[in-house]
């Protein structure tokens, strides 16, 4: 039983790591966060001035039976293609959106949040359920001299969201339950006239659970994902502040 579980996890890991592409710069120094080895993952790998996150160097460091770190969710320790796209979209469009404050939900290592701080948004919150992810985000922000505040927020029960202008969710639909939780939160935020920008790959099947739930909650059937290239466009005529970015992970530019 344990063995088949382990094999399953390895297959999953191999598939997941393929999606990371040329994500990371292996650092010459041995950086550590919370005792675990990390690398830098820059928004643009060839641009040393671009924002970066810290990502776990080796998934193997989370394995082992009595390991404290076996509680860490590997998915929360990497910058996924969606976060990279979200970060560059924020860099490009945030000045036009004119957000004074920014909050990311399910941030993982928080590249979009770090980028938001870097382009000068004053109040930036990175939130996730995974404590190690929040440590990664804090450590990378601090090293870049940026202020990114972190808070533990569970998408299934969130009642303690920071109050901001713009909310970003990147690749958070890990399960149907999370997708429904995210929909409940997004509805609430939109009713408060906040801007909500959701990024998701088309192969994340649970994103359709999210979309269906949003349609129902807001009584709006026309809602759709838009190609990310066209920037923040309304998901429906009645929802000018709700943006749904469709990501094709094979087309994400790392340079
Ligand atoms: C695939 S990772 C994406 C990480 C990052 N946003 C990115 O795009 O690279 C999914 C993230 O959702 C977070 N997550 C999963 N369930 C959650 C929940 N119930 N509440 C908050 N975050 C959750 C995980 O901890 C993880 O950081
Ligand atoms: C993603 O992009 C690739 C390469 O451009 C293309 O072949 C593929 O059909 C696209 N996938 C989707 C779901 O659009």
Q: How large is the average pLDDT for residues 175-182?
A: 98
Our answer on whether the CB atom of 253 is closer than 6 Å to any ligand 2 atom is no
Q: What is the DSSP string of 85-129?
A: HHHHHHHHHHHHHT-SEEEEES-TT-HHHHHHHHTT-SEEEEEES
Residue 3 in any domain: the answer is no
Q: Which residues line ligand 1 (CB under 6 A)?
A: 73, 75-76, 79-80, 82-83, 106-108, 128-130, 133, 153-156, 170-172, 174, 178
Q: Helices in the chain by DSSP H: which ranges?
A: 2-18, 81-97, 111-118, 131-143, 176-191, 207-218
Residue 172 Cα, ligand 1 centroid: separation in angstroms?
Answer: 5
Residue 13 in any domain: the answer is no
Q: How large is the average pLDDT for residues 214-240?
A: 96
Would you give the end-to-end CA distance of the chain in angstroms?
43
Write down the pLDDT at residue 67: 66
Residue 59 in any domain: the answer is no
Over the chain, what is the mean pLDDT? 91
Residue with more model confidence, 229 or 2? 229
- Whether the model clears a pTM of 0.95, i.e. scores above it, the answer is no
Domain count, the chain: 1
Give residue 138's domain range.
81-251
Residue 52 in any domain: the answer is no
Residue 222 in any domain: the answer is yes
Q: How large is the average pLDDT for residues 150-169?
A: 96
Residue 194 in any domain: the answer is yes
Our answer on whether the CB atom of 152 is closer than 6 Å to any ligand 2 atom is no
Q: What is the CATH number of the domain that holds 232?
A: 3.40.50.150
Residue 192 in any domain: the answer is yes
Q: Which two tokens stand for residue 152?
A: 């533990």
């Amino acid at each position: 039983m344990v063995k088949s579980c382990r094999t399953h996890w390895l297959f999953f890991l191999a598939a997941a790591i393929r999606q990371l592409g040329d994500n990371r710069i292996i650092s010459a120094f041995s950086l550590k966060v919370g005792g675990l080895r990390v690398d830098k993952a820059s928004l643009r790998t060839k641009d040393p001035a671009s924002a970066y996150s810290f990502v776990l160097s080796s998934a193997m460091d989370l394995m082992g039976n009595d390991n404290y770190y076996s509680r860490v969710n590997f998915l929360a320790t990497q910058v996924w293609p969606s976060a990279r796209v979200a970060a560059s979209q924020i860099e490009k469009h945030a000045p036009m959106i004119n957000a004074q404050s920014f909050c990311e939900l399910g941030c993982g290592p928080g590249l979009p949040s770090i980028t938001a701080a870097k382009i000068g948004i004053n109040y930036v919150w990175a939130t996730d359920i995974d404590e190690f992810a929040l440590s990664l985000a804090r450590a990378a922000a601090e090293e870049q001299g940026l202020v990114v505040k972190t808070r533990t927020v569970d998408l299934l029960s969130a009642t303690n969201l920071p109050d901001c202008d713009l909310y970003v969710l990147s690749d958070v639909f890990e399960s149907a339950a999370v997708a429904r939780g995210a929909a409940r939160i997004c509805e609430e935020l939109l009713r408060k006239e906040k801007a909500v920008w959701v990024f998701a790959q088309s192969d994340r099947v649970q994103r359709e659970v999210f979309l269906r739930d949003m349609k129902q909650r807001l009584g709006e059937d026309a809602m759709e994902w838009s190609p990310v290239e066209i920037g923040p466009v309304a998901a429906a005529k009645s929802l000018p502040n709700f943006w749904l970015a469709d990501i094709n992970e094979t087309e994400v530019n790392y340079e």
